Amino acid sequence: MSKNSGVRRRGAATLSCLAMAAACSLSAAAPRTGPHGAMDMKEQQRLLDTLHIDGTGVPRDVDPVAWRTIYVPRDNSLTPARIALGRKLYFDPRLSRDGTVACATCHDVSRGFSDSRPVSEGIGGHLGARRAPTTLNAALFETLFWDGRAPSLEEQAKLPIVNPIEMGQPNGAAAAAAIAGDPSYQSLFRKAYGHAPNYDDIGRAIASFERTLIFLDSPFDRFLAGDTHAISAAAKRGWALFNGKARCASCHQLNPSNPLGTDNRFHNIGVSAHDKNFEALARKGLAALGEGSNVQALDRLALTTDLSELGRFMITRNRADIGAFKTEQLRNVGITGPYMHDGSMQTLWDVMDHYNKGGETNAYLDGGIEPLDLSEDEINDVVAFLFTLTDERFAKQNEAAYRAQKARAAKSRPFRDDALAHRQVLPFETRVMGPGGLK
C-alpha cells in the first residue's frame, strides 16, 4: 500500500514537471537543480521512464526497410545491452573532464532534449557559439550538426567529449579512462561490444541509445491519417499556407517519407547575416583550414570561434555555402526553442517574422527566401500548425510552451517592426499593380 502510493506520488510529480518544463524553457522556471542549470540526472531518467520509449524494435512510425538498411548501421545493430550502456553514458557527467557535464546537461529530457538556451554552456561555464539542437529524432538525419560535419550518430557522439568547452577531455583515451574504474562499466561494455571500455564504443553505445529517441507521434500525423478533428481549423489553414503562400515546404518537406520536415540540405536563410562581413570572414576561415582540419579541429572552430557563422562553408569550402546551415527538423519544434543555430529567435512568431520579411539580405541568401507578405492571421495559423508537430507524449509541455510563447510574442516581436521596414515591393507586384506595389 505505502509502496503503491509512493509510486503514484512520483508519477504525479513527474507529470507536473513535464507540464512545467516548456513554460520554463521561456521563463526559466523549470527545476534547474543540476550543474549548469540542467535538471538533476536521476530526475531526468525518471522522466525518461514515463515516456515509454521503444526498445530494439523498429520504431512504430518509421519505414522498417529504411530503418534496417539506412538508419541503423550494419556494424552497430541495436541490442538491449548497447542501448542500456548508451543510456548510462548519456546521463553520466564523469565522461567530462571536471565531472559536471553529461550529454543530458545540454540535451535535457525536461527541455525537449535540448537546453532552452541560445547557446550551450559546457565545463567551466564556457559558452559555445551555437545552440544545442534536440537529440529527439536525430537518428533520422542524413548528417549531424548545424553544418553537417558528422556523418553518423557514432562519430557525432565522440566529439563533444573532447571539445575543450563542452566536456573537455584531452583525448578519447582519457574519456575511456574516466569511466573504466567503474566495474559496472567493465561488464556493460563487455556485454555490449566484447571489449573493455574504449572511445569508439562509447560513441557507438550512445548512438544506440539515441536511436530509441524517435518521437513522431503527433496530432498532425493523426490528421494526415484521416482524423479531421486531430488539429484545429487554424492549424489546417497553417498547413495549407506552409505548402503554399509561405513556401516553407520548399525546404521543410513534410510527408510520410520525409517525417522530419527537412531536406537534409544547407541554406543561408539570413540568420547569421547581421553585421557580418562574410568576405573577410571566409578569407579568415580558409586560412584557418589551411593549417589542417581534422574533424576535431573543425569541431573546435565551429564552437569556439567567430568562424562558426560561416556554417557549411567550413566543411565544403564552397562559396555557395557561406552562412548556410542545415534545415532543422520541425518535429517537436514547439518545445525545443529558442530557435535557429544561434538561438537568436525566442518564439515561433519571431521565426515567422524573419521569414515574412525575406530573411536578412546578404550576398549568399538562398534563392528560396523572399518576402512573403503574410498577414498577422496567417502568421498565427502557421504557428498553430507548427505546434501540432509535437509528439503526444509531450502534449502538456507543448501546450504550456504555446501559451508562454504567445504571451511573450504579445509583448515582444523584435523582428516584426524590422519586417515592416524591410518590406520591399517585388518586381511582380510592380508589374501587376503599377509603381508602389500592393497597398
Residue ranges that bind ligand HEC, judged by CB under 6 A: 101, 103, 105-107, 120, 122, 128, 130-133, 135, 138, 141, 144-146, 156-157, 160-161, 166-167, 206, 246-248, 250-252, 267, 269, 271, 302-303, 325, 327-328, 333, 336, 339-341, 348, 351, 355, 366, 368-369, 382
Q: What are 429's three cell numbers?
A: 507586384
Q: Whose Cβ is closer to ligand HEC: residue 14's or residue 315's?
A: 315
User: Cell digits for 31?
Assistant: 527545476
Residues 6+ apart with CB under 8 A from 3: none
> What cell was used for 178?
574516466
Q: From the CB of 13, what's the least distance to ligand HEC, in Å?
A: 26
Q: Length of the chain in residues, anyone?
A: 439
By beta-carbon proximity to ligand HEC, the closer residue of 247 and 422 is 247
Q: Judged by CB, which is closer to ligand HEC: 81, or 303?
A: 303
Which set of grid coordinates corresponds to residue 386?
507548427
- How many C-beta atoms lie closer than 10 Å to residue 363's C-beta? 11
Specify whether the CB–CB gap between 348 and 402 falls below 8 A. no
Query: Residues 6 or more apart from 86 whose CB is under 8 A from it?
Result: 205, 206, 207, 208, 209, 210
Distance CA 398, CA 395 (A): 5
Nearer to ligand HEC, 14 or 311 (CB): 311
Nearest distance from C-beta of residue 55 to ligand HEC, angstroms:
19
Cβ of residue 324: shortest distance to ligand HEC, in angstroms?
Answer: 7
Among residues 131 and 416, whose Cβ is nearest to ligand HEC? 131
Q: Which residues contact 288 (CB under 8 A, 6 or more apart)?
A: 301, 305, 307
d(CA 89, CA 139): 17
Smallest separation, CB 224 to ligand HEC (Å): 17
Q: Is the Cβ of residue 14 or residue 231 nearer to ligand HEC in the bound state?
A: 231
The residue (of 34 and 160) whose beta carbon lies closer to ligand HEC is 160
Nearest distance in Å: CB 154, ligand HEC = 10
Give the shortest CB-64-to-ligand HEC separation in angstroms. 23
Which of 408, 402, 400 shows the shortest CA–CA distance to 384?
402
The least CB distance from residue 436 to ligand HEC, in Å, is 25
Q: How far apart are CA 16 and CA 251, in angstroms?
A: 36
Residues near 240 by Cβ (< 8 Å), separated by ≥ 6? none
Residue 14 vs 90, nearer CB to ligand HEC: 90
Distance CA 230, CA 218 (A): 9
**Minimal distance in Å, beta carbon 46 to ligand HEC?**
20
CB of 401 to ligand HEC, least distance (A): 12
**Residue 273: which residues within 8 A CB-CB, separation 6 or more?**
323, 359, 360, 361, 362, 365
CB nearer to ligand HEC: pick between 14 and 349 = 349
Query: Which candidate, 354, 288, 311, 322, places its Cα nearest to that of 129?
Result: 311
